[in-house]
Amino acid sequence: MDAIRTEVMRNRFAALVEEASIILYKTAHTTFIKQTQDYQCAMCTVEGEVFAYPRSNGVATLVGLSLKPAIDRIGVENIHPGDVIITNDPFSTEGMCTHTPDIFTLRPIFHEGELLCFSWAFAHVSDVGGAVPSSISPSFTEIFQEGLRMRPVKLFREGELNEQLKDIISDNCRIPSETWGDIIAMCSALSSMDRRIIELVERYSVDDLTAGIREVLAYGEAKAREVISDLPDGSWSFSDYIEVVAGQPLLLRCTMTVTGSDVLLDFTGSSPQVQAACNFVTGAAPHPALVRCFVAYLLSSSPEMPMNGGIVRPIRTRAPKGVIMNAEFPAASGNRAASYTRIYDLVLGCLNQAIPEALAGGGGSQAAIIAASVTDPLTRKPRVSVIQPLIGGSGGRRSMDGIDAIDTPFGFLRSAPTESVEHEMPFLVRRFGLVTDSFGAGRYRGGAALEIELENRSHEATFSVRGCDRFTFQPWGVAGGAAGHCGGGWKNGEPVSMIELQKLGRGDRLHLRSPSGGGFGDPLERDPEAVLLDVRDGLLSEARALVDYGVVIRDGALDLQASGAARAEAKARTEPQDGLFNVGAQRRAYETDWPEPSTVALSIGLLEAPSGLRSAVKTWVTERQPKGADPETVNALLKEGLAQIL
């Protein structure tokens, strides 16, 4: 590594991708890009490895992306100057694209006939056809419902637009001109990166460029290995559930193995793919969704970590074909964000075990967005608007409390001003704030839940909360911290399902509450002053201060003597916790009937069945599985069920 060239090139690369990211943002047309920054661009090597990635704008989590499958699909020998490759197909790109609205584009950069690297851009366009506007519904069962699908094909051939392809795209979108506008915005970003790379080559040389690429990647890898080496060697497993398919908690599982400066994340034991849109496709390379938490850990551990694919080189992933995170054709994947979120929690659970003092409790971790639709009285057309994200507090962290109202992996999201929401839609927001006594207790407490109360002022309005989860299983506490709480929904004070659409008449009130974060560490060790502060701030009642923390507060003041006694008594009363995690009463009760090892055995065993029969076999087994059955019993049932059904 050349000490100077590495840093000069790292800065040059960073500048040119930041610039292209701004161009893409500025010239794109549709809402997802403008409002939720769901787009990105980057530079990658001839082998498809990202060597420069923006920090300031766009999606933060794709730094470890591999573009190799798309390049291989076309064949590098068939790629010429001026080509632009386009695709949105998860299956032919090994999950490079993760759902159909994410359109990916790639442009080779040549200098004097030599292929130097690729520029890349993606955008979540607002619609690619399919069964519903915006092309996503959690209940879809196969990708054909999710709109137009394009394997990697050439949109431009040596600078010439493939008009027929453009027509096909346009004919298969509800808003063809906007979608095409987004594609052209991506092409502008690709060209900008191309131009800047050529300028670099002319200022320095091809050799400096290629050496620079090699060096910045090596620098990223070295920094990541430094952080990983600080973890002890060993192997740790963690399971958690998603509840997005009604009445059927789906177990996801990760085993993290650290060997020196290498990491393996193995998702064996996770639920087979389901007839719903929470699946996604991955391939041989470590998929960004699988390594997201680990990458967050790397970036948090070293603020100087370069943003490039070098940092995922030490990470390998394994997910058997046919599980939710490595789904087979033709699985639907529009709503894969639900699984992404829980996978983040799995790896966090493993890191908590690997790091001697643990890291953080589980957060609200639902990727939920409240949206509403009303019919415009004048035009009779429906008006749809995103109201607010409803995520939930983060878990308590090893040196600080959790974040109130939002979870760590969603820290990039922004809420809308209430005053704007009330102008856009005919609602009054009656309340938008934190919930008292909502967080998981801990030495460092979890983040409080967020609550919103909406009053309809129109004839009729329809609400949906896409991405809700954590209906019965609480966000877990760690290292003695208590579990957080689940969220909920109420219409005029009566509980309602968060999955179903809610219709509100004039004057009806809808009340939605997010989950809250689990605590970190023993609440009895929390600084009494911090407990007092929460009480003064109205986030904790005096009663809970005594019960959860053994802290006595009278008339707004600490009674340290009484607290000492209360803590001693509480310490004597509480049974020592078995294990690092407090997963909460609901999950403990569920796992008494459906033990985790048995569910894992079932998931693994089901993969033996032909993929088309797995769902039937699973139903056959679970209908006969006695409460509390051990893995052997489940395996025996599996064998029998398989024989019966075959």
Q: Could you tell me the CA-to-CA distances from 450 to 158, 327, 439, 539 in Å, in that order?
A: 52, 33, 10, 12
- List the Cα angle 140/146/148 in 5-degree steps: 160
Q: Which is nearer to another protein, 377 or 612 (CB)?
A: 377
Q: What is the DSSP string of 288-341?
A: HHHHHHHHHHHHHH-TT---SGGGGTTEEEE--TTBGGGPPTTB--TTTHHHHH
The smaller minimum CB distance to another protein, of residues 417 and 610, is found at: 417
- Comparing CB distances to another protein, the nearer of 159 and 417 is 417
Q: Are 306 and 220 in contact (CB under 8 A)?
A: yes
Torsion sign over Cα 394, 397, 401, 403:
negative
Query: Least distance in Å: CB of 19 to another protein?
Result: 4
Nearer to another protein, 106 or 360 (CB): 360
Angle in degrees, CA 358, 361, 365, rounded to 5 = 140
**What phi, psi does 346 have (nearest 5°)?**
-60, -50
Closest contact distance (angstroms) between CB of 131 and another protein is: 23
Q: How far is the CB of 608 from another protein (least distance, A)?
A: 38
Peptide bond preceding 330 in cis form (omega within 30 of 0) = yes
Cβ partners under 8 Å of residue 304, min gap 6: 223
CB of 501 to another protein, least distance (A): 22
CB of 28 to another protein, least distance (A): 8
Choose between 91 and 432: whose C-beta lies nearer to another protein: 432
Which residue, 465 or 604, is less far from another protein as judged by CB?
465
**Which residues have C-beta within 8 Å of that of residue 214, sequence separation ≥ 6?**
none
For another protein, which is the closer residue by CB, 520 or 594? 520
Write down the least CB distance from residue 448 to another protein, Å. Answer: 9
Interior/surface letters 114-147, b for 16+ CB within 10 angstroms, e for the rest:
eebbbbbbbbbbbbbbbebebbbbbbbeebebbb
Identify which of residues 434 and 486 has a Cβ nearer to another protein in the complex. Answer: 434
CB of 205 to another protein, least distance (A): 14
The SS3 of residue 184 is helix
Closest approach, Cβ 509 to another protein, in A, equals 12
Total Cβ atoms within 10 A of residue 7: 16
- Find the shortest distance in angstroms from Cβ 326 to another protein: 26
Q: Which residue has the tokens 């005029």?
A: 492
Q: Which residue, 192 or 598, is less far from another protein as judged by CB?
A: 192
How far apart are the C-alpha atoms of 410 and 366, rounded to whole Å?
9
- Residues in the chain, total: 646
Closer to another protein at the Cβ: 217 or 606? 217
Cβ proximity to another protein, 536 vs 571, nearer residue: 536
CB of 307 to another protein, least distance (A): 9
Cβ 428 to another protein shortest distance, Å: 7
DSSP states of 515-581: --PPPBS-GGGS-HHHHHHHHHTTSS-HHHHHHHH--EEETTEEEHHHHHHHHHHHHHHSPPPSSSE
Neighbouring CB atoms inside 10 A of 556's CB total 9
Of 16 and 150, the one with the shorter C-beta distance to another protein is 16
**412 vs 389: CA distance, rounded Å:** 11
CB of 162 to another protein, least distance (A): 21
Residue reference for tokens 């003695």: 480
Instruction: Please identify, using beta-carbon distances, which residue of 7 and 47 lies nearer to another protein.
Output: 7
CA–CA gap between residue 251 and residue 468 (Å, rounded): 17
Q: How far is the CB of 560 from another protein (least distance, A)?
A: 20
- The helix/strand count (H/E) of the chain reads as 16, 24
Nearest-angstrom CA–CA distance, 68 and 114 = 18
Coil vs helix vs strand at 278: coil
Please state the closest distance from residue 615 (CB atom) to another protein, in A. 37
Contact residues for 309 (Cβ-Cβ < 8 A; gap 6+) = 44, 49, 50, 51, 53, 63, 64, 65, 66, 217, 220
What is the residue type of 474? Q
Can you tell me the distance from the alpha carbon of 193 to that of 119, in angstroms, rounded to the nearest whole number? 6
Nearer to another protein, 485 or 567 (CB): 485
Q: Pick from 426, 453, 16: which is nearest to 197 by CA?
A: 16
Cβ 506 to another protein shortest distance, Å: 14
Comparison of 33 and 251: residue with beta carbon closer to another protein:
33
- First vs last C-alpha separation in the chain: 59
Q: Which residues contact 561 (CB under 8 A, 6 or more apart)?
A: none
